[in-house]
Amino acid sequence: MAEPASRPKRIDVGGQAVIEGVMMRAPRSLAVAVRKASGQIVLKQDDWRSLSERLPMLKWPLLRGCVVFAEALVNGLQALSFSAAQAGSAEGEEASPLSIALTMTLGIALAILLFVVLPHALSGYLLAWLGPGYGLSSMSFHLLDGALKIGLFLAYVWGISRLREVRRLFEYHGAEHKSIFAYEAGADLTVENARTYPRLHPRCGTSFIVLVMLISVLFFSAAFSLLPGAAAANSWRSLPLVGLKVLLMLPVAGLAYELIRFCSRRMDRTLTRWVVSPGLWLQRLTTREPSDEQLEIALAALRSALAMERAKTELSVP
């Protein structure tokens, strides 16, 4: 259904919590707002151009999800670097592009080790006791692998949520969601309005990660059942196939993105609410109720990103 003529077209916007601040990204604009130790709000604005704007094929379904995820990682690390430099009592230096690249590489490697290699190895070791019928091609292997993967992830999130600094980050995460909800509802972007909206959002990266884990169980079960020799590849002998699982995460991530995108626009339906409910449940851990000061930061970043985007749209109109 078309937007009413009196209401401007809604701009797609997403965000991320950073150290004592929030990053908001529109299609061609990015803004980060951080509160310094002195109480001053520092705002950083950047032009943003997605790789898919230069390579239109990357906008195709299933491909665009991988691009969005990769770009969100890069933008998030850059915003974290800026916030870390600003949030202290003395202004520091932002991380260099090389440092950001190394940090991202190390983070991805650790995530693969903890949430792919470890549950895979444990599944093979535990099921090896039951005989050859529980190899890599069996549904049992992937159900156990998925359960261990989700269990490790939940334990990790719960563990870090006990840290004071992470709790502050989760409060800003809640502020980001409330601010975006207020904008999507067409409300004035004020602290009073944003405060009334929920902190759980269906398009959150947390929901994306949960869907990736759930979809991977079915996807890997189907894919490895077609792989010659997979039935006998249990225990440690299946570890060389972890590399294939990492590659298969790309179509899984693409599918999860499309499902999140579809469901978030149809939250009035029971089935779509059921699909996103695991991610919303987990957001009860990864978000906290924000203070008015934190909402002020999130709204400052959001207003800045939207103002930049609208200015670019007006300039592009002949």
Convert 26-55 to b/e letters by CB count within 10 Å (16 or more is b).
bebbbbbbbbbeeeeebebebebebebeee
CA distance 146 to 119: 8
CB-CB contact of 14 with 180 (8 Å): yes
Residue 147 belongs to a domain: yes
Residue 2 lies in a domain: no
Bridge partners, 25 (sequence order): 14, 30
Q: Which of 144, 147, 139, 124 is nearest to 224 (CA)?
A: 139
pLDDT for 184 equals 94
Query: Is residue 9 included in any domain, yes or no?
Result: no
Q: How confident is the chain (318 residues) per 10-residue block, as mean pLDDT?
A: 48 93 94 93 92 87 87 89 78 69 84 89 80 72 90 94 94 97 95 97 91 89 73 58 84 92 88 91 95 97 95 65
Match 């990736």 to its residue by tokens: 212
State pTM to two decimals: 0.88
Give Cβ neighbours of residue 313 (< 8 Å, ≥ 6 apart): none
The reported pLDDT for the residue numbered 6 is: 43
Task: Look at residue 2 in the predicted model and tell me its pLDDT.
Answer: 34
What are the phi and psi torsion angles at 289 (to 5°)?
A: -65, 125
Q: What is the pLDDT of residue 93?
A: 66
Identify whether 4 is part of a domain: no
- pLDDT value of residue 286: 95
Nearest in space to 187 (alpha carbons), one of 43, 15, 303: 303
pLDDT for 315: 58
CB burial of residue 25 (10 Å; 0-12, 13-18, 19+):
buried
* Residue-level pLDDT at 308: 94
Cβ 176 vs Cβ 204: under 8 Å: no
Establish if 175 belongs to a structural domain.
yes
pLDDT tens for 117-172 read 899 888 888 877 776 666 777 788 888 989 999 999 999 999 999 999 999 999 99
Handedness of CA 42, 299, 285, 72 (dihedral sign): negative
Query: What amino acid occupies position 168?
Result: R
Structural domain of 108: 62-85+95-307
Task: Tell me how many domains the chain contains.
Answer: 1
114 domain residue, yes or no: yes
N-term to C-term CA, the chain: 26
Task: Measure the CA–CA gap between 180 and 22, rounded to whole angstroms.
Answer: 12
Domain presence at residue 145: yes
Q: Which of 101, 66, 105 is nearest to 81 (CA)?
A: 101
In a domain, 30, yes or no: no
Q: What local confidence, expressed as pLDDT, does residue 138 receive?
A: 78
The answer to whether 254 and 61 are in contact (CB under 8 A) is yes
